[in-house]
């Protein structure tokens, strides 16, 4: 089911005739977390689409006032929701995602729905084995209580500081928390945590589809939630694909790398890769 936000984004992108770039957010964020990225890619000649997850509220204030809307959203539901948006686009898009949005990006690329894709600090999928201590600690606010599988779970500031904003100053961490953080469904974290035990998991990627297209994985050097060991394991599995697969590590960056004060370096890294394989229109 699509919403007014997605419909407006799709119609505007189709009207431009340009290659769309679909941005997919992760847990504890909303589509608005991509607003600055959208401006950069629009200026580079693309049509930016900031995709929602099912039932996403429009604003952070609305999300924090109505956390229950996030409950029980699964990886499969989110992937199908974004996939339906992609299929309404008249041109095959670039897809860029962060965290669980990076997992969704790889799922959709594996379905042959993207021309080029970028997965930033992407959540793991079935077959990715490393499980660093910091990743366990970052997900503990959800995984420590089995009942959270069916709940929406907010992060405290201290939890957000460790999981997202460990590589920025305290004042910036507080600003990011107040500006961007919203509750998130617990289900996707449980799905990722058990993916290697469940042959039928929704947290799986077809990494051999020849229609996947070029893929870049971006890893933040200081990311506690998706450390290098996890991102690199995803890269190694994606190298089985016949398409171009690359990975780059951004120094001194944590999981907040798409929204914090260093976001532009990450955006430019993604844009450079996208331009190599999917040039934008003249701006």
* Residues spanned by the domain of 69: 4-277
Domain assignment present for residue 194? The answer is yes
Angle between helices 35-43 and 263-277 (to 10 degrees): 40
Mean of pLDDT values over 232-236: 98
Are the C-beta atoms of residues 13 and 53 closer than 8 Å to each other?
no
Q: What is the pLDDT of residues 1-20, one digit of tens each?
A: 458 889 999 999 999 999 99
Domain assignment present for residue 197? The answer is yes
Cα–Cα distance for residue pair 260/154, rounded to 1 Å: 19
Tokens of residue 263, six digits: 């976001």
Domain assignment present for residue 282? The answer is no
Q: What is the pLDDT of residues 149-191, one digit of tens each?
A: 999 999 999 999 999 999 999 999 999 999 999 999 999 999 9
**Number of compact structural domains in the chain:** 1
Domain assignment present for residue 152? The answer is yes
**Report field, pTM of the whole predicted structure over 0.85:** yes
Q: For residue 26, name the pLDDT band (cuts at 50, 70, 90).
A: very high
Are the C-beta atoms of residues 102 and 22 closer than 8 Å to each other?
no
Q: Which residues contact 58 (CB under 8 A, 6 or more apart)?
A: 5
Q: What is the CATH number of the domain that holds 153?
A: 3.40.50.1820
Domain assignment present for residue 283? The answer is no
Tokens of residue 158, six digits: 């201290």
């Amino acid at each position: 089911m699509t919403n007014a936000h997605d419909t407006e984004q799709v119609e505007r992108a189709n009207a431009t005739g340009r290659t769309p770039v679909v941005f997919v957010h992760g847990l504890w964020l909303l589509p608005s977390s991509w607003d600055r990225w959208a401006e950069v890619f629009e200026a580079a000649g693309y049509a930016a689409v900031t995709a929602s997850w099912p039932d996403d509220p429009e604003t952070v204030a609305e999300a924090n006032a109505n956390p229950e809307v996030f409950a029980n959203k699964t990886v499969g539901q989110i992937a199908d929701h974004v996939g339906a948006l992609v299929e309404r686009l008249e041109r095959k898009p670039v897809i860029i995602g962060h965290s669980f949005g990076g997992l969704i990006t790889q799922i959709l690329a594996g379905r042959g729905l993207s021309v080029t894709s970028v997965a930033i600090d992407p959540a793991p999928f079935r077959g990715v084995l490393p499980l660093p201590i910091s990743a366990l600690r970052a997900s503990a606010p959800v995984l420590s209580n089995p009942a959270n599988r069916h709940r929406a779970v907010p992060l405290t500031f201290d939890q957000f500081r460790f999981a997202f904003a460990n590589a920025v100053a305290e004042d910036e961490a507080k600003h990011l928390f107040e500006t961007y953080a919203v509750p998130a469904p617990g289900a996707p974290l449980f799905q990722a945590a058990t993916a290697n035990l469940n042959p039928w998991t929704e947290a799986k990627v077809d990494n051999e589809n020849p229609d996947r297209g070029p893929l870049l994985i971006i890893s933040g050097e200081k990311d506690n939630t998706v450390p290098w060991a996890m991102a690199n394991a995803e890269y190694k599995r994606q190298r089985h694909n016949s398409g171009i697969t690359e990975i780059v590590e951004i120094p001194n960056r944590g999981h907040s790398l798409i929204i914090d004060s260093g976001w532009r370096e990450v955006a430019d890294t993604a844009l450079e890769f996208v331009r190599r394989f999917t040039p934008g229109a003249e701006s």
